[in-house]
């Protein structure tokens, strides 16, 4: 694999810290064992034969599977080791990144934590193709390849500049009351926007969305400047509200509720067990619930309903 990637025996030998003659002997012995040439030697290095191409493409997958199997078996030992790649949405990334890092460092000191941030629709794709081991989604995909557990629910709030006096402090706001007000929301293909639009249609409200975003920070910046209002979970802007920069009003009649669903890939390429990586996310949600008005679900079972993704 290294010879194929480097394009020459000498370059591969240098990377592998192996003498070139020894590497050449290994390569010839391997070709003799398979009964076919894997490389064509040229004046500028080596190129793969058709057999070499097939072996290289399949070999990368086999090597990764072998590495993942080794890591999973090690997980049966007394000390959990390996890597865990966890996917979070931008709103949850603001809230859970530090608690997750602290928890993993304290409880799983030999685990390397990676956090990937994207909207829920992208996180679902990453779960399905193995790029992340687990993620918190806002819906439960009907997929045999994923194990999903609904842990909590978070209410959505109307968020505005702290000097905005359209509504009394702490008062509940209906979707109908937002008709004609300037809003900044996510683009239509995200689930948060789909949820808001659906409630607005049901209430007969016309939402004046003057800005759309595909990332969180620009939207918050616009609200800080008083250019628009937005709809977000209160957790994602708690720091700004506590600092007196933003203000929030709960959306009521009906409430806008978003579930927090821990999803783990059934066939993982990661290192630590599915139970451990799901437990890390479950612990993070439960620990943060009281701070962000998240409602923990009493009955946690596999969810099969299809809801829009964000």
Q: Residue ranges per domain, the chain?
A: 2-74, 81-152+258-296, 154-257
Q: What is the 3-state secondary structure (H, E, C) of 114-169?
A: EEEECCHHHHHHHHHHCCCCEEEECCCCCCCCEEEEEEEEEEEEEEEECCCCCCCC
Of 57-61, 162-166, 241-245, which range is least confident? 57-61
The model's pLDDT over 253-291, given as tens digits with 9 standing for 90+, comes to 888 898 999 998 765 544 466 677 888 899 889 988 888
Same fold, 81-152+258-296 and 154-257: yes
Query: What single DSSP character describes residue 17?
Result: T
Element (H, E) at 84: strand 81-88
Of 188 and 310, the one with more pLDDT: 188
Position of tokens 């629910």?
A: 153
Nearest to 45 by CA among 77, 2, 85, 107: 2
Task: Tell me how far apart the alpha carbons of residues 260 and 296 are, in angstroms, rounded to a whole number.
Answer: 9
Q: How many CA atoms, within 13 angstroms, populate the side-chain half-sphere of residue 153?
A: 10
**CATH architecture for segment(s) 154-257:** 3-Layer(aba) Sandwich (3.40)
Of 77-86, 259-268, 294-303, which range is least confident? 294-303
Residue 214 in this model has a pLDDT that exceeds 90: no
Could you tell me what percent of the chain has a pLDDT over 90? Answer: 38
The model's pLDDT over 40-63, given as tens digits with 9 standing for 90+, comes to 988 888 999 999 999 988 888 888
Quote the pLDDT of residue 299: 54
Q: Which fold has domain 81-152+258-296?
A: D-Maltodextrin-Binding Protein; domain 2 (3.40.190)
Mean pLDDT confidence for 161-187:
91
Enumerate the β-bridge partners of residue 273: none
Rg for the chain, CA atoms, rounded:
25
Q: How many CB atoms lie within 10 A of CB 150?
A: 20
Task: Tell me how far apart the alpha carbons of residues 302 and 268 are, in angstroms, rounded to a whole number.
Answer: 18
Residue 308 in this model has a pLDDT that exceeds 70: no
Average pLDDT over the chain reads 85
Task: Tell me how far apart the alpha carbons of residues 243 and 265 are, in angstroms, rounded to a whole number.
Answer: 39
Q: How confident is the model at residue 170 (pLDDT cuts 50, 70, 90)?
A: confident
Query: What single DSSP character describes residue 18?
Result: -
Distance of CA 112 to the CA centre of its chain: 16
Which token pair is 244? Answer: 């007196």
Task: Tell me how far apart the alpha carbons of residues 255 and 32 are, in angstroms, rounded to a whole number.
Answer: 69
Position of tokens 């109307």?
A: 158
Strands 45-48 and 39-42: antiparallel
Which token pair is 241? Answer: 């509200």
Q: Which fold has domain 2-74?
A: Arc Repressor Mutant, subunit A (1.10.10)
Which token pair is 261? Answer: 């669903």
Task: Tell me how far apart the alpha carbons of residues 292 and 271 are, in angstroms, rounded to a whole number.
Answer: 31
Any residues with CB less than 8 A from the CB of 109 and at least 6 apart, and which? Answer: none
Q: What is the 3-state secondary structure (H, E, C) of 196-237?
A: HHHHHHHHCCCCEEEEEECCHHHHHHHHHCCCCEEEEEHHHH
Nearest to 138 by CA among 259, 292, 262, 231: 259
Element (H, E) at 283: helix 274-288
């Amino acid at each position: 694999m290294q010879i194929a990637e480097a394009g020459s025996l000498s370059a591969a030998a240098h990377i592998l810290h192996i003498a070139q003659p020894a590497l050449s002997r290994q390569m010839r012995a391997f070709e003799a064992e398979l009964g076919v040439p894997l490389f064509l030697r040229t004046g500028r290095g080596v190129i793969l034969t058709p057999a070499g191409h097939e072996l290289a493409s399949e070999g990368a997958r086999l090597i990764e599977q072998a590495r993942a199997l080794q890591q999973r078996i090690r997980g049966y030992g007394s000390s959990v080791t390996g890597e865990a790649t966890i996917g979070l949405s931008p709103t949850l990334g603001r809230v859970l990144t530090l608690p997750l890092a602290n928890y993993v460092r304290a409880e799983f000191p030999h685990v390397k934590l990676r956090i990937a941030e994207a909207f829920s629709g992208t996180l679902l794709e990453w779960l399905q193709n193995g790029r992340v081991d687990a993620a918190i989604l806002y819906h439960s995909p009907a997929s045999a390849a994923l194990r999903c557990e609904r842990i909590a629910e978070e209410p959505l709030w109307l968020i505005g500049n702290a000097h905005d006096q359209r509504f009394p402090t702490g008062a509940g706001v209906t979707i109908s009351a937002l008709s004609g007000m300037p809003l900044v929301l996510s683009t239509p293909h995200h689930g948060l926007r789909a949820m808001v639009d659906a409630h607005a249609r049901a209430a007969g409200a016309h939402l004046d969305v003057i800005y759309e975003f595909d990332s969180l920070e620009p939207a918050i910046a616009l609200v800080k400047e008083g250019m628009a209002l937005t709809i977000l979970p209160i957790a994602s802007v708690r720091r700004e509200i506590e600092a007196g920069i933003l203000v929030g009003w709960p959306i009521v009649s009906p409430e806008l509720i978003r579930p927090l669903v821990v999803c783990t890939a059934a066939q993982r390429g990661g290192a630590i067990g599915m139970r451990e990586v799901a437990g890390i996310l479950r612990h993070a949600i439960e620990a943060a619930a009281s701070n962000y008005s998240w409602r923990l679900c009493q009955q946690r079972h596999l969810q099969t309903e299809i809801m829009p993704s964000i």
